[in-house]
Amino acid sequence: MRHYRKRVLITGGAGFIGSHLADRLIGAGHHVICADNFFTGARENIAHLLGNPFFEVLRHDVTFPLYVEVDEIYNLACPASPVHYQFDPVQTTKTSVAGAINMLGLAKRLRVPVLQASTSEVYGDPQIHPQTEEYWGNVNPIGPRACYDEGKRCAETLFFDYHRQHRVPIRVARIFNTYGPRMHPNDGRVVSNFIVQALAGEPITIYGDGSQTRSFCYVDDLVEGLIRFMEQPANEPGPLNIGNPAEFTIRELAEMTVRMTGSASSIEYRTLPQDDPKQRQPDIARMRALTGWAPTVPLEEGLARTIAHFRTRHFA
């Protein structure tokens, strides 16, 4: 039986997660259209795909409508680290909100499923632990992180309203901290920060006392989760948490990074930024029950792969 080659649109397809998703979908025999304005995406992330006849790149900003014919849409376009989303907070909010409207409009016209890459940041600085999808969150709507947190929350609102009002088949994935090869080296995220500082022999900077926790999901696990969610037959809209429930303190991550890089870096402590969450851990029971998905790559293994990538790409 002949394999059906789906045409899949990935907005933010040249980004860290988007490029790995493109790899997986092309590897599965599908045709990928990557739309990216290259604000945080990088051509080097997709350079290996440019000669593939089943891969296309469109330089496009999702705050403007896009007219293509596809079978599925993954809406990943948005700066996802504080350094980048606070650089132009108005544009960040527009990317989340206008981008959602444009991708939902496309999905409505084509009658195809659309997956929204939402975020654990919709929970803000959570007052329950671990975070379940029923929790409404504790978000400062006027703080310096609100452009991202509230932008993503509004995008979720739009997705569910299009689902109820126009019967658009949606999937809303709340993505928790993800790491791996192709992370932007200067994005300010804790894993890339620590690796770059350790490999450069610079002090490891921890904001706060290092007791705050995060749960780190390797990018291959995350991509597997996104694809399973998109393809599940129940047409479940979510929202579903996708992340690794294994919880580590920031200090533990710093010590592990120093040890695994063989660095002589010391650890320095700085003031904690405003509205920085103290705890972050996903409850993935709903995702596991719906799709059978659970992360398989432990932090030490994923960190070793990520360090190897940074050594060859940025410190060769």
Task: Decide if 74 is inside a domain.
Answer: yes
pTM of the predicted model, to two decimals? 0.94
Total count of domains within the chain: 1
pLDDT digits (tens, 9 = 90+) for 196-208: 999 999 999 998 8
- Three-class SS string for 224-264? HHHHHHHHCCCCCCCCEEECCCCEEEHHHHHHHHHHHHCCC
Annotated catalytic, 148? Answer: yes
Which of 85, 148, 162, 218 is catalytic? The answer is 148
Task: Decide if 243 is inside a domain.
Answer: yes
Alpha helices in the chain (DSSP H): 16-27, 43-46, 82-85, 89-110, 146-166, 190-199, 219-231, 250-261, 285-291, 299-314
Domain, as residue range, for 273: 7-314
User: Mean pLDDT of all residues in the chain?
Assistant: 93
Rounded Cα–Cα distance for residues 121 and 149 (Å):
5
Task: Decide if 220 is inside a domain.
Answer: yes
Task: Decide if 201 is inside a domain.
Answer: yes
pLDDT at 316 (0 to 100): 61
pLDDT at 273 (0 to 100): 75
pLDDT at 150 (0 to 100): 95
For tokens 């990317």, what's the residue?
A: 95
pLDDT at 192 (0 to 100): 93
pLDDT at 1 (0 to 100): 56
- Ranges of residues in the chain with a pLDDT under 50 are none
pLDDT digits (tens, 9 = 90+) for 54-98: 999 999 999 999 999 999 999 999 877 677 677 789 999 999 999
Task: Decide if 62 is inside a domain.
Answer: yes
Task: Decide if 138 is inside a domain.
Answer: yes
Task: Decide if 2 is inside a domain.
Answer: no
CATH code of 303's domain: 3.40.50.720
pLDDT digits (tens, 9 = 90+) for 248-259: 999 999 999 999
Task: Decide if 1 is inside a domain.
Answer: no
